[in-house]
Structure 1
Amino acid sequence: MFDSLANALPHFRNTNSGQFFLMAGPCVIEGEDMALRIAERVRQLTDKLQIPYIFKGSYRKANRSRLDSYTGIGDETALRILQKVGREIGVPTVTDIHESGEAALVAEYVDVLQIPAFLCRQTDLLLAAAKTGKVVNIKKGQFLSGEAMQFAVDKVRQSGNEHVILTDRGNSFGYADLVVDFRNLPVMQRFDVPVVMDVTHSLQQPNQASGVTGGQPALIETIAKAAIAVGADGLFIETHPTPATAKSDGANMLPLDQLEALLVKLTRVREAIR
């Protein structure tokens, strides 16, 4: 849809565009066929509804509860799949990095470097991502207010990179739950960056005694509608053909066959508030 995602970012602000944009895909890259299948289907839907689309997939899961939790199919293999998705499906791609040494390598394969919420204050990581010149999507820490994310944005911008997105994914509530404070969306928009609501991760129930994160996928539509009504510039939704068999975060992912109906409803909400 755009020749350069970085140049397109101003159009992703809802002050300049009639539609929200979507980051969507599986939690983790499980294989080439599945990644291409998901990306192609979401691209079909978003083209139909004129929604700008960025394919999401983690090339490696570094933040796991248990040592035996699934982490990925291998860094180079997964990164090459992300690159192939971008080229063959014709969409920008985003993946997360966890250490500053990953930034330059991963930037060779994807369009957006994502900073996980737990790491949003890590200065070296933010600077390394910024210096690649790629778009940097910073997830708001579960322990931070929207106001506090100004400093993360400043670190990237003061490194010479103006291409920043902020993503909310809820706030910690007790030991094993999250809540969404929708005030954070307009607060972070004051920093003149596109602001995204991570719908599925905000419905996680972390720190379960089993060591496997739970979730409330029945509330995906509720959170998504509320975010669009508040004026979110974009949505982040993890989706999978069969969440029950997903290698990671299946408990809070949206079944791929339910995405179209949800997006249709969300475009209607967006139209209603314009």
Structure 2
Amino acid sequence: MTQRPPRPVRVLASALAAGALLTTAACSDGDDSGAGSADTTRISSSPLAQESPSALTAAGAKAALVTEADLEGDWDQVKNAAGWQDSLLVGKVDVADFLTAKTNAADCQKLLDALYDDDLLGKPSGASALTGFQEGESRLLYQVAAYDKNTLDSSFSWLKSLPDKCDQFTATDSSAGKRTVQVVEAPLPKEGDARQGLQVTVQGTSGGTPTTLTLDVAAVRVGADAITVTNGGLGGADHDSTETAVKLGTARLQDVQAGRTPSGDPSEIE
């Protein structure tokens, strides 16, 4: 099977500079409700607290990533997540499937390409960070990034339309092999300002053996920043892990936006 040229490997933001933690002043009215642990009552003098909450920094994006300790199960953090590409997602959408709405074929093609390229919400306009975890044959890719607000709104509208536009279609690989793709809406915790969950299944062959790739896809907007989660594999998708990543990841991003240091900084990934 012909593979696409590899993408440039993304470099995660450097580790946060150490900074002294100051106790929250009384003028905060003692209101630190929302996500996070007791550590979220502290204000950091690191770059996280020195930037406007509306401007996600490289250090902030790195700090907002979920950690191995955040996820349930036996997920192990990996160092090569930026190079993950599943060949089952490579294919040309069969426009003949869209007899009365051929423009929908372009949206379905965009979905396959975005899942393969890990840019579900488009290219970030600012800082971004990425990490990945593996449990058996399943992989969980987690990203945090800053986007242009109007572009982000358009991306969420597009995602919401996909269960109707791309409920089932056929994609053809470079060897003329046929793959059946199904897209359904998936529930997500009510986190952030907007959210959209999908489950994408791709039925085809791998090495001449029938196989099915199942992916949970989740996106959550928090202001002009967003998190995205892609979780699954040939053995299915663990939706509980997707929900956990969404809940704890949104809380971490909100902490960063408010100038707080999330508890449990991500481990180093070269």
> Which of the five TM-score ranges fits, normalised by the shorter chain?
under 0.3
Kindly indicate whether structure 1 or structure 2 has the higher relative contact order, using CA contacts under 8 Å at least 6 residues apart: 2
Greater share of residues in helix: 1
TM-score normalized by structure 1?
0.24
TM-score (norm: length of structure 2): 0.24
Structure 1 or 2, whichever has the larger Rg, is 2
Decide which structure has greater strand share: 2
